[in-house]
A and B are shown apart, each in its own frame.
Chain A
Amino acid sequence: MVAMPKKRRDLPVTPLSYPTVGSMGKTGSWRTFRPEVNYSKCTRCVLCWVFCPDAVITRQEDDSPKIDYDYCKGCGICANECPVKAIIMVREEE
């Protein structure tokens, strides 16, 4: 994790930015609908993982998807692309 500079002397000579998970913060807060996986329907085809723009789906040991809700923006591509409709978009709870 990159530390936020506090003083001028913390700065590099020119802006160099280091790889960070959450460079834009916890983008899960952007979501209106959340994808939910029905693991009994899931065929482990990994398409949801391939097409996720936000790299928030990881392939588990058995190739089933695991969604990181801290960063998932809720775009719905995974639900739209799932060939067996094992992912559905549900409204975020208040």
Chain B
Amino acid sequence: MVTMKELPREEYLLKGHAACAGCGPAVSLRLLFKALGSKVFLVVPACCTTVIQGPYPFTSFGVPLQNILFESTGAAASGVVAALRQRRVDDITVVGWAGDGGTADIGIQALSGAAERETNFIYICYDNEAYGNTGMQRSGLTPYGAWTTTTPSGKKERKKDMPMIMAAHKIPYVATACTAFPLDFVNKVRKAKDIQGTKYIHLLAPCPTGWRYDTGKTIEMGRLAVQTGLFVLYEIENGKFKLNPPSDRLVDKSKRKPVKEYFAGQGRFRNLTEDDVVRIENWVDEDWNEYRKRAECA
């Protein structure tokens, strides 16, 4: 297990990039490169990262980056991986880096296909729970009750369980991560790098612009998402489910912070009613029952 100080000093996301102030995905990109170094081909569909690069002829990325169509990250990565294999190159890690819309909505077909074909790459969904690049519209990963520009009174449906959808593909590695737990994320990326086949990491990456909190609180929001049990850190390695710290200590409901603490800090949840909160708490309990059973089985 790596420590904070052991993270390499090299930066492959260069300063002066075009992310919003306090951008969770930007923090995560830095961590991604600290995990993998520079021998990476990044495949990026339309998403905030398209903009983070800055405009031609400049880019803030120090690794090769193929911008590709919104719904096609899995397919583009498949082509890159096949070509590398034909060129007998085996020291480059191919990473698909896509947002929640590009993963769970428009891109789910290409991702599912790539996973079913056992394409050797890491797919990271950086989830800021809405279409951030186009100004915060609802996605399949927007949580219940959250305001977006297309759900002005709050989303009426629940968030898709994307990592479990990927686990159903029987790929060798599925993990969740959060920007607020950098070492957990780095370790998971490094573990994924050494596994053959499709590896899926679902990364909750808080977004001050869309979630409506102070830009300084990005890490705090991520931490609360995990501490309240709303977002759970786990990994499924060859079908074996394992809760990771600190989520592994939250099976006991009394250890979890009240979900209200998470909602209170974010403007996007301002329309939540007391009933909504109770409903969400019940869902969290139900979900945790499932996680507990899975953890016990393993």
Contact = CB atoms under 8 A, between A and B. Distances in A.
| A–B contact, 8 Å CB criterion (strictly below) | yes
Interface of A: 2, 4-5, 15-27, 30-31, 45-47, 50-56, 58-59, 63, 68, 70-71, 73-77, 79-81, 89
Given A4-B57, A76-B216, A53 B14 contact: no
B23 A19 contact: no
Contacts, number: 133
B59 A54 contact: no
Contacts of B182: 50-51
Contacts of B61: 19
Contacts of A18: 57-59
Interface string B45-72: 0000000011111111110000000000
The interface size bin for chain B is 35 or more
B214 A21 contact: no
A21 B16 CA distance: 6
27 contacts: A2-B58, A4-B57, A18-B58, A19-B59, A19-B62, A20-B14, A21-B14, A22-B58, A23-B17, A23-B55, A23-B58, A24-B60, A27-B16, A50-B7, A52-B27, A53-B19, A53-B22, A53-B23, A53-B24, A53-B218, A54-B15, A54-B17, A55-B15, A71-B16, A73-B21, A76-B22, A76-B214
B115 interface: no
B14 A80 contact: no
Given A18-B57, A20-B59, A54-B26, A80 B216 contact: yes
Contacts of B15: 21-22, 27, 54-56, 68, 71
Interface in B167-182: 182
